[in-house]
Amino acid sequence: MKLFDELKRRGLIKDTAGEDLEKIINDCDTTFYRWTDPTADSLHIGHYCSLITVKRLAKAGHHPILLVGGATGLIWDPRPTAEREVIAYETVQKNFEWIKKQVTDLFDWNVQVVNNYEWTKDITILDFLRDIWKYINVNYMLSKDIISRRLETWITFAEFTYTLLQWFDFLHLYETKNCIMQAAWSDQWWNMTTGIELIGKKLWKTAYAFTMPLILDNNGNKFGKTTGNALWLDKNKTSSYELYQYLINSDDSKVEEYLKVFTFLSPEEIIEIMKKHNETPEQRLAQKTLAKEFITDLHGKSEYQKALHISEVLFSWNLKELKEDEALAAFNNLPEYTLQEDRNIVDLLVDASICSSKRDAREMISSNSISINGEKINDINFTIQKSNCLVSNFTIIRRGKKQYYVIKFM
């Protein structure tokens, strides 16, 4: 199967620009780029949706460039509601360095990572107006949805000109690196095609582009920070176990799409997996396969095995099998309460807001609904001490089957 056909079969191509795009993709010797702004010191799963497509192209013989917007990140693109908060120069450049390391690790150094700050910082406003702006029709810009919606309230000139910097990026990479193609999300279609138009008007050259459909989470939202569902690619911000839990809980209606987008399994292998999955969906074969392939590609086999082990231990609730780093990963985001001295279990449950009252605490203990580090506690006179710690300086209390709390000792 040709690469272009495989991308379409996986649902990874939405819009295309350039009559010969299919041939360009199938020939597998094209320099192309994907763009992102350094909004944080790590990329997240929303970025990974497109990076995995970039990686497919690289594996097929294309030459990827990841453009990190050290310049555009100082302004931010216009969003539908209001202007984004400005980030300091130093923060943006620091974020660039973190992202560069992440991406080069992910691609085994088979990618160029560039910063558009390098080719925009010395351009004067007069040069930009004469060499770029003169080729762009203002009425054309005003007609675009994101701009026209903001005109109803207000939009700053900086936001308005943000897109010009994006178009200039494509022109610069075309001239300096023979980068003839761009890949991005479908919501960037306007920026991509206008960049192609700029290249045509200024250089009299042909450029190409394709978009990928936006990949949505179980609730129909984009993966990202704005919607509050960011899963970071940095394992110190989102552990492999947390990622495993998210993927294993993917909805049946989304898991086949995720297998096509996030894994390198062949379309035929995915069909076979889904067939077996649909025979016994309660075993979650498709979700387990997704988690294994995703985490192994992103963080390596050992991180996947660690995530799997944590999950199995927590299912059996035999917490003493956890190593210290596994315990820290498993209980990373639980509510915490800090103790400075030994405490009666009833008093602790109330003080840590695990139970609403001493009466509630006693009832929970008497009904075997409270456990510490995997062991049931049914003695209301039990004293929790530092010697009870699971690892390091913390203890895990579980109320019922689904409420977990971390008790830390000073």
The encoded tokens of residue 142 equal 């005003």
- CATH topology for 336-409 is 3.10.290
CA pseudo-torsion sign 43, 44, 50, 52: positive
**Count of CB atoms situated within 10 Å of the CB of 266:** 12
| Structural domain 3-212, CATH architecture | 3-Layer(aba) Sandwich (3.40)
Q: What pLDDT was estimated at residue 401? A: 83
Q: What pLDDT was estimated at residue 230? A: 79
- CATH topology for 240-330 is Tyrosyl-Transfer RNA Synthetase (1.10.240)
Q: What pLDDT was estimated at residue 80? A: 52
| Spacing of C-alpha 84 from chain mean position | 20
CA 22 → CA 83, 104, 211, 219, 264, distances in Å? 38, 27, 13, 33, 21
Q: What pLDDT was estimated at residue 79? A: 56
The SS3 call for residue 64 is strand
Q: What pLDDT was estimated at residue 390? A: 77
The SS3 call for residue 183 is strand
Per-residue pLDDT of the chain (410 residues; tens, 9 = 90+): 899 999 999 999 999 999 899 999 998 899 999 999 898 899 999 899 899 999 999 999 999 999 999 988 887 665 555 555 678 889 999 999 999 999 999 888 789 999 999 999 999 989 988 888 888 888 877 777 767 777 777 777 777 778 888 889 999 999 999 999 999 988 888 889 889 999 999 999 999 999 999 888 888 887 766 545 579 999 989 999 999 999 999 999 999 999 999 999 999 999 999 999 999 999 999 999 999 999 999 999 999 999 999 999 888 778 888 888 888 888 877 888 998 888 999 999 999 999 999 999 999 999 999 998 888 999 999 998 888 787 777 888 999 988 889 988 87
- Do 307 and 295 form a contact (C-beta atoms < 8 A)? yes
Q: Where are the chain's structural domains?
A: 3-212, 240-330, 336-409
E strand or H helix at 56: helix 45-59
pTM: 0.85
Residue listed under structure tokens 């991180």: 303
Q: What pLDDT was estimated at residue 77? A: 63
Backbone angles phi, psi at 403, to 5 degrees: -105, 120
Q: What pLDDT was estimated at residue 224? A: 65
Q: How far apart are the first and last CA of the chain?
A: 60
**Count of CB atoms situated within 10 Å of the CB of 117:** 19
Q: What pLDDT was estimated at residue 78? A: 57
Backbone angles phi, psi at 212, to 5 degrees: -110, 140
- Do 335 and 406 form a contact (C-beta atoms < 8 A)? yes
Residue burial 150-161, b: 16+ Cβ < 10 Å; e: rest: beeeebeeebbe
Q: What pLDDT was estimated at residue 189? A: 87
The encoded tokens of residue 241 equal 């176990």
Q: What pLDDT was estimated at residue 148? A: 75
CA 2 → CA 8, 130, 272, 290, 375, distances in Å? 10, 43, 21, 24, 57
